[in-house]
Amino acid sequence: MSLPDVTMYTDGACSPNPGKGGWGVVVIEQQGMVQREMSGCERNTTNNRMELTAALRGLQGLKEPHQVTLITDSTYVKNGITRWIHGWKRRGWLTADKQPVKNRDLWEELGQEILRHQVTWKWVKGHALDQWNERADALAVAARKGLPPENSGVPVPGPQENRIQIFSGITYAPSRRKGSWAVILSYQQHVKVLGGAAEGSSANQFHLMAAIAGLSALKRELPVTLYTTSGYLRDGLHRWLVGWQQRGWTTREGKPVSNRKLWRQLAAFAGRYRVEVRVVSRKNGFCLLQEAKELAREWRLLPPGDGIKG
């Protein structure tokens, strides 16, 4: 006997991160009608926990087994449940670099819950005018603010600026001189994910590698905003670069510029695109910036020079 078919949109919200958060779920029947909406909040949580909670509570809200198409705007959730969780279990709930898996309690619950259903996981870009993704987001934000869902006060966003956004994350282990990077490129309805692992002598090198990889993947000559946690990257590109070039890639003290080879590559792209670098704090970072960091952490122990594209 075939299972009943539903489509489920889930989303989470947290501000500040960590801080008070909310989650939202929209369940749609096969006929395209909203069957049910769910939402909730927690006082001390994170954005990733709210994204996971939304998916978990949505599935738990189905009393009988279903065939579910679950649509999320979180690459952390989609990649975690379809790819990373198998390795975590094999390693006794440790990540690729032998660290305890964050949010293990929710991952274990979600892993058990999906055994009741036939779930197809799909990713959709957030805040891109997808009607039901926007509704799930509105439910999550309203729950976080303590508002009733019908009075969420969350407007539907207008057309996005004609600008490419790059979200960059890195990891680095000084003792092993190894690290990894990941970038998420976002433009209108299009998203691309790149990542790699390598050997290096500093975290600064990996911030540069990530920026270069993101810019080198661009196909259109449009303005770019690059989000990062690196003040070194921002100051180098916006304050120091012109002086370095004028002095033949030396500092004011006459010393060779550190990471000169990487800076020269980045300078070539900066001359081609109008690049604005914005530094975002690790504590209050954007969702995609946090997801880039999670992706980099999972790819940390790949062989040097190896990379993943998607």
* Element of type H or E holding 149: none
- pLDDT digit string (tens) for 89-115? 999 999 988 999 999 999 999 999 999
Is residue 236's pLDDT more than 80? Answer: yes
Find the CATH number of the domain harbouring 199. 3.30.420.10
Query: Torsions phi, psi of 256, nearest 5?
Result: -60, 140
11 is catalytic: yes
235 is catalytic: no
Q: Measuring CA to CA, how many Å separate 257 from each of 158, 162, 205, 268?
A: 43, 34, 13, 16
Per the structure, the complete domain to which residue 273 belongs is given by 164-309
Amino acid symbol at 164: I
Residues 194 and 82 in one domain: no
- pLDDT digit string (tens) for 244-254? 999 999 998 99
The burial class, CB within 10 Å (0-12 / 13-18 / 19+), for 220 is: exposed
Average the pLDDT over 70-81 and give the result: 95
Catalytic residue chosen out of the listed positions 42, 51, 291, 294: 51
Catalytic residue chosen out of the listed positions 11, 134, 291, 298: 11
Residues 145 and 220 in one domain: no
Residues 126 and 185 in one domain: no
Catalytic residue chosen out of the listed positions 42, 137, 291, 298: 137
Residues 145 and 181 in one domain: no
Average the pLDDT over 243-268 and give the result: 93
Specify if 128 maps to a domain: yes
- pLDDT digit string (tens) for 43-63? 899 999 999 999 999 999 998
pTM of the model: 0.56
Residues 237 and 112 in one domain: no
Specify if 158 maps to a domain: no
73 is catalytic: yes
- What's the pLDDT score for residue 161? 52
Residues 277 and 214 in one domain: yes
Higher pLDDT, 291 or 64: 64
12 is catalytic: yes
Residues 141 and 231 in one domain: no
Helices and strands, counts by H and E, the chain: 10, 11
Number of folded domains that form the chain: 2
